[in-house]
Amino acid sequence: MTTLSSPAVAAPRETGSDRWWRTAVVYQVYPRSFADGDGDGTGDLAGVRSRLPYLASLGVDALWFTPWYASPLADGGYDVADYRAIDPAFGTLAEAEALIAEAREHGIRTIVDVVPNHVSDQHAWFREAVAAGPGSLQRQRFWFREGRGAHGELPPTDWPSTFGGPAWTRVTEPDGRPGEWYLHLFAPEQPDLNWSHPQVRREHEDVLRFWFDRGVAGVRIDSATMPVKDPALPELDEGSTHPFVDRDEVHQIYCSWRAVADSYPEKRVLIGEVWLDDPARFARYLRPDEMHSAFNFDFMRRPWDAEQLRESIAETLASHRPVLAAPTWVLSNHDVTRPVTRYGREDSSFLHARTFGVPTDLGLGRRRARAAALLSAALPGSLYIYQGDELGLPEVDDLPAEARQDPVFLRTGGADPGRDGCRVPLPWSESGASHGFSVDPEATAWLPQPPEWAGLSVRRQENTPTSMLTLYRVALELRRTTPALIGEDFAWLETQKGVLGFRRGEDFACLINFSAEPQPLPRAEVLLSSGELSGGLLPADTAVWLRLQEKEGH
């Protein structure tokens, strides 16, 4: 029998409109793969606008759009050429404005992506820098350096790029000779900006205002630990601090962005992509004058294991409390293996060490992903849902090499499959060449969809009581209407080994069975379960939401 193990942590209720983000459900839209409204096989803003009723009925509070700006799409849009224009593949600025307004009419806020670490090599600043030559003012907005070696033929440092290969590329100077090198911690098409340059700072604050003025409710900050570099450019193993990850000066950027965000009557929100192992360093980004929240990747990285997840949840709550920040719960995004696939593997923490041909039990993965959905939706804080997870889409790991577009695949010579497998366009119906992704039934999607995705389409799932989509809809509805889930109150329940349990408010409980054996349930009303309960028992890999009828353990 389940009993209470600790008193509830008292937390303020923050449901006022300025605090919406503390409990929000944020749905991540990868515009290229969400819905194609103009029939060219690539997703676009017209497609998103046509599907706003779907998003409203799913019950999300906000949409986070990965970059939709003008871009050569060398890294799916994370190579921004112009923040003040929408990429023609996706639509126009007027359409973005209309989308922001229409979403708001559905009660849905909009969050856009800002990528401070770098821009596209097609950005006006970088083109000017290459054209202006060595020693020019234009080059000071980036990291141009002489190479090492007798003829400058070696890169200035041995830093590797996150995407494989060196982090430096040599330019051909205007006079045709090989010249300086520029830094790119990601692909060569993504030159790093120099954040000690005042124009770089001013420009980004203007970009924030540009989008905030258009009604955007907040920004997701890409690679947020990386923009500031040690100007001495030491090697990675030299010195006591990392030359570019989590340098103390980076916080100044977000303090000034916070001032911009706070200058609006309806305060705007900063959400950081902060990959850091140390919870205390992570929490520094969430101090009251910095970001409002940051993605909880620790939770996402943990394997399917009661103790591992208990530890992650406890550490998350503990690290957020001193800075008064609301936690986030993230199961996936456009960079990582889809949960249905991840949880169907023996090593379910597998994320970046992507390899081909890992044995996967998708049935097991789906059961666990359903349970994980109820676990994450029941925790205090905000919830992130990556498009397609509500349909239970698996990773597509057999995409043909010629279809793959991720620079991670291309720059590792195909050794790393890259991230295309979680970016395959959504199936909306059973019919047509793209399962309803495109308005043109003849058009094929920009990445091929597996034929069996007809069975995972929105149309197939929306009236099926046992579908993943129905589970998500019901869970989000309950989350919205259950007072205990709106507050921030949380307490662990004492449970059998292999079972994770916690209470929210006085009478709501969530239990998840990670063990191989069915486990007894306390006497309670079942609100929702991720799988069928038989004989009053909680089966393996299943989660349940309960309304407790009597208080125990007090």
Query: In angstroms, what is the minimal distance from the CB of 423 to ligand ISL?
Result: 9
> For residues 111-140, which are near ligand ISL according to CB under 6 A?
115
Tell me how far CA of residue 64 lies from CA of 28, 98, 127, in angstroms: 5, 16, 30
Work out whether the CA dihedral 126, 131, 136, 137 comes out positive or negative. negative
Residue 116 · residue 204 · CB < 8 Å: yes
Given candidates 223, 225, 316, 337, which one binds ligand ISL under the rule CB under 6 A? 223
User: Does 83 sit near ligand ISL (CB under 6 A)?
Assistant: no
> Looking at beta carbons only, is 159 or 428 nearer to ligand ISL?
159
Backbone angles phi and psi of 170, in degrees to 5 = -90, 135
Rounded-to-integer distance, Cα 312 and Cα 320, Å? 12
* Near ligand ISL by CB under 6 A: residue from 73, 408, 499, 528: 408
Q: Give the one residue of 222, 298, 397, 541 binding ligand ISL; rule: CB under 6 A.
A: 222
Distances (CA, A) of 29 to 218, 475, 489: 15, 20, 30
Residues between 303 and 332 that touch ligand ISL (CB under 6 A): none
Cβ contact 55:27 at 8 Å: yes
Q: Does 192 bind ligand ISL (CB under 6 A)?
A: no
Near ligand ISL in 463-492, by CB under 6 A:
none
Please report which residue ranges of 220-263 form alpha helices under DSSP H.
250-262
371 near ligand ISL, rule: CB under 6 A: no
CB 339 within 8 A of CB 365: yes
Minimum distance, C-beta of residue 66 to ligand ISL, in the bound complex (Å): 7
CB of residue 192 to ligand ISL, shortest distance in Å: 11
Binding to ligand ISL (CB under 6 A) within 259-278 occurs at 273, 275
Least spacing, CB of residue 211 vs ligand ISL, in Å: 18
Q: Positive or negative CA dihedral for 445, 447, 453, 458?
A: negative
For the CB of residue 78, give the shortest distance to ligand ISL in the complex, in Å.
3
Q: Strands 499-504 and 491-494, how do they pair?
A: antiparallel
Task: Output the smallest distance, CB 334 to ligand ISL, in A.
Answer: 6
Q: Which is nearer to ligand ISL, 227 or 501 (CB)?
A: 227
- Using CB positions, name the residue nearest to ligand ISL: 78
| Structure token digits, residue 349 | 């923490």
Taking the complex as a whole, the smallest distance from the CB of residue 226 to ligand ISL amounts, in Å, to 8
Show the binding pattern over residues 143-182: x = contacts ligand ISL (CB under 6 A), - = does not: -------------------x--------------------
How distant, in Å, are the alpha carbons of 30, 114, 143, 194 from that of 122? Answer: 22, 17, 16, 17
DSSP 389: G
Please tell me the count of residues contacting ligand ISL according to CB under 6 A: 14
**Out of 64, 78, 90, 299, the residue judged to bind ligand ISL by CB under 6 A:** 78
- Quote the least distance from Cβ 130 to ligand ISL, whole Å: 20
Q: What is the DSSP letter of 274?
A: -
Among 68, 69, 168, 186, indicate the residue that binds ligand ISL (CB under 6 A). Answer: 186
List the interface residues with ligand ISL, window 202-221 (CB under 6 A). none
Residue among 408 and 471 whose Cβ is closer to ligand ISL: 408
Between residues 66 and 482, which has the closer beta carbon with respect to ligand ISL?
A: 66
Q: Identify the CA nearest to 337 among candidates 275, 394, 273, 296.
A: 394
Burial class (CB in 10 A: 0-12, 13-18, 19+), 331: buried
The β-bridge partners of 109 are 62
User: Min. distance of Cβ 177 from ligand ISL in angstroms?
Assistant: 31
Q: How far, in Å, CA of 188 to CA of 126, rounded?
A: 12
User: Is 75 near ligand ISL (CB under 6 A)?
Assistant: yes
The residues in 380-399 that bind ligand ISL, with binding defined as CB under 6 A, are none
Q: How far apart are CA 363 and CA 392, in angstroms?
A: 11
Residue burial 192-209, b: 16+ Cβ < 10 Å; e: rest: bbbbeeeebbebbeebbe
Task: Give the C-alpha separation, 462 to 533, whole Å.
Answer: 22
Interacting residues with ligand ISL between 425 and 444 (CB under 6 A): none
Q: Which is nearer to ligand ISL, 243 or 432 (CB)?
A: 243
CA-to-CA separations, 417 to 85, 354, 405, in angstroms, rounded? 31, 6, 10
**Residue closer to ligand ISL, measured from CB, 336 or 511:** 336
User: To the nearest whole angstrom, how small is the minimum distance from the Cβ of residue 65 to ligand ISL?
Assistant: 13
Verify binding: residue 335, ligand ISL, rule CB under 6 A.
yes
Closer residue to ligand ISL (CB): 115 or 493:
115
Report the interface residues with ligand ISL, using CB under 6 A.
75, 78, 115, 162, 186, 222-223, 273, 275, 334-335, 352, 408, 419
